[in-house]
Structure 1
Amino acid sequence: MGFYYLIFLIILTNFVQCGVIPSRVILVDKIGKNFLFRTNSPVQGDSYQMSELQEAMIEKITQAGYQPPQDPKIHSYSLVWFYDSIKQNYTENKYFKNHTEYQFSQYPIFGSIINPNSLPSFLAKFLAKYYPIWNHDNLNVLTKELRNSLQQQEERPKIIFFHCIAGEDRTGQVFGGYVMRYMNWTYQNALDFDNHVEERKIHNASKYGLNWYCYYLNNQGKGGDCTYEPEY
């Protein structure tokens, strides 16, 4: 059943691209003149809704009480892997090839099929010690790159954003990793936030991926209780 559901999901996401959803455009962090956002994919059909996305981000910046940046540099991070949505990747890559004034990076996120909380505690903690070695997503790399870019102050301000397709699952995993590592959120805080971006929980693969990173961050005194399971 799970295999056929995955195939159906891959086929579906190759045809259904809904464009910018303002409720999923969320300001994550700000340092100096620079802003970091999470969002859903700006792809709608054959078009890339950059102007609509920027409008939504400027609105969120204003609502947060900040002065909107003038003529910001844009850096997009796609968390989508190629076969996950061929159309998504084709449209996005084509857009950025034609708009070299923007920066584009691709960092595919997969999540995990193994729930660390289903393992004996000692085994989960042991594996978490070596997380950067075996875990494909290795949120250490992407969260550090996002943070370093946000901290780097240049003459022009920057808007950095990351997205998957829905802006909930893999986006929620990366968001959770970032706020646990750099903003002192607990795993519970991050997961509860992710689960309330829309009226559904994030996919288990993304939840497990975030959970593994929590166990890893525990070794640095961060992340809080990684055994948390929401009741709702």
Structure 2
Amino acid sequence: AGSPVQDCSSLGICSTAMLLLLSIGLLPLACGDWALSDIQGMYFALRRANVVDVAGPNLLMRIGSPLAYGLTGPVLSRSSLEQALRGAAGTLFPPGNAELVDVTLLTAEKRILDAEREGFGSGLVHWPLAGVTTEAFAGACQSRNISCPSSLQPSHLPADERRRLAADFEEWNPDELDRRVTALRALLERPGSGGGARVVFFHCLGGIDRTGELFAAYAMRYLNVTLTQAMAENELVAGRVIAYPQQAAAQWYCENLRERGLYAHDDCGNCGPFRCRNTGHPLDPIFRYVFACLLAIGSTGLCGCAARRSCRKHRQPPKEDGGYYPMAA
């Protein structure tokens, strides 16, 4: 039997077709207001819908994004959104026409925010989240004469210095997580328009990093969930660890809750199951798979890759520190 590559009349045709598909699907997005790292997962974002909390007939949910993405940019499809929410919530989804409240955590994605504002109007709540940045952390330490660890980790500080930073977390972290989670709880408990039910959902672009930060904070504050459990849930939903600034924000909020007597567990500094330093922005599993295939195409061609179904062998497990091994060509 010949090589599977011979199933293709021309490797050049295959490679050109692949590049054309990538250009059609990604170029309009890459040239927009968001970076490649933010594009990860948004094609499958609605599949990340999950129920977080319930208050009477009202629901709190996390999702990937309420928008659809195409060649003309982001657009809102309420029917697709409601279908995804209903599918994830099952019998918990309120009957009839529930009010939808969109809590978006986006930061610099202007075109997407504009599409959400157009689609939801007064039903849109905008809370941009950035996580714990090195600049904010360094400033907090410097103003308190504390020597900062570059890892941002609470456990890498002496106990007294850690407690000082944790007690003042809301002052030096621009995300204002405690104010956000208490406001989120209030949104959930408030009756919908006309006294009916409401469904509150929060999201970023792919339902992973900023969404994971807010989920972990809310779960620790109101659901008696540990940090370790919340971060594991994030990884289960997303297929990867959340970005490091968002992980650090959840850890420091955990320490803040402990200082206020609102968190009884002792795992805020437990970075071992996740990451103890910033190893870079992790890729979604689907993108690790695609990039591995692109590397394989360089030597075998698209048709050879597809015919042999050999791209799977390029998938790599996560390293113990949460990073990823270099993908083999």
Structure 1 and Structure 2 fold alike (TM over 0.5): yes
* 2:35 paired with 1:11: yes
* 2:190 paired with 1:124: no
CA spacing shift, 1:17–1:183, aligned 2, 3 Å: closer
Q: Distance in 2 between matches of 1:108 and 1:151?
A: 22
* 2:131 paired with 1:91: no
After TM superposition, where is structure 1 displaced by more than 4 Å over at least 4 residues in a row?
13-17
Deviates more, 1:114-123 or 1:184-193: 114-123
Paired positions, count: 217
Structure 1 spans left out of the alignment, 5+ residues: 1-8
CA spacing shift, 1:69–1:139, aligned 2, 3 Å: farther
Sequence identity percentage:
28
* 2:130 paired with 1:110: yes
CA spacing shift, 1:138–1:34, aligned 2, 3 Å: same
- Give 1:191 shift: 1.0
Residue in 1 that maps onto 2:209: 169
CA contact (8 A) 1:17 1:88 kept: no
Structure 2 spans left out of the alignment, 5+ residues: 1-32, 134-151, 275-319, 321-329
Counterpart pick for 1:222 among 263, 272, 277 = 263
Correspondence list, 1:186-225, <5 A:
186-219=226-259, 220-222=261-263, 224=265, 225=267
Counterpart pick for 1:66 among 78, 92, 95 = 92
Deviates more, 1:88-97 or 1:171-180: 88-97
Residue in 1 that maps onto 2:191: 153
* 2:78 paired with 1:50: yes
Match for 1:226: what amino acid? C
TM-score by length of 1: 0.84
- Give 1:14 shift: 7.8
CA contact (8 A) 1:180 1:223 kept: no
CA spacing shift, 1:91–1:19, aligned 2, 3 Å: farther
CA spacing shift, 1:223–1:194, aligned 2, 3 Å: farther
TM-score by length of 2: 0.61
CA contact (8 A) 1:78 1:162 kept: yes
Match for 2:132: what amino acid? S
Match for 2:212: what amino acid? G
Deviations 1:44-98 (A, max 9, x none): 2331233212111112221xx43533111111111011x2x2322222223234x
Deviations 1:3-37 (A, max 9, x none): xxxxxx94336878845634310110011010001
Residue in 2 that maps onto 1:5: none
Deviations 1:77-128 (A, max 9, x none): 11011x2x2322222223234xx5xx11100001013333333332222111
CA spacing shift, 1:162–1:15, aligned 2, 3 Å: closer
Instruction: Supply the RMSD in Å over aligned alpha carbons.
Output: 2.4
CA spacing shift, 1:13–1:198, aligned 2, 3 Å: closer
Say which structure is richer in helix: 2
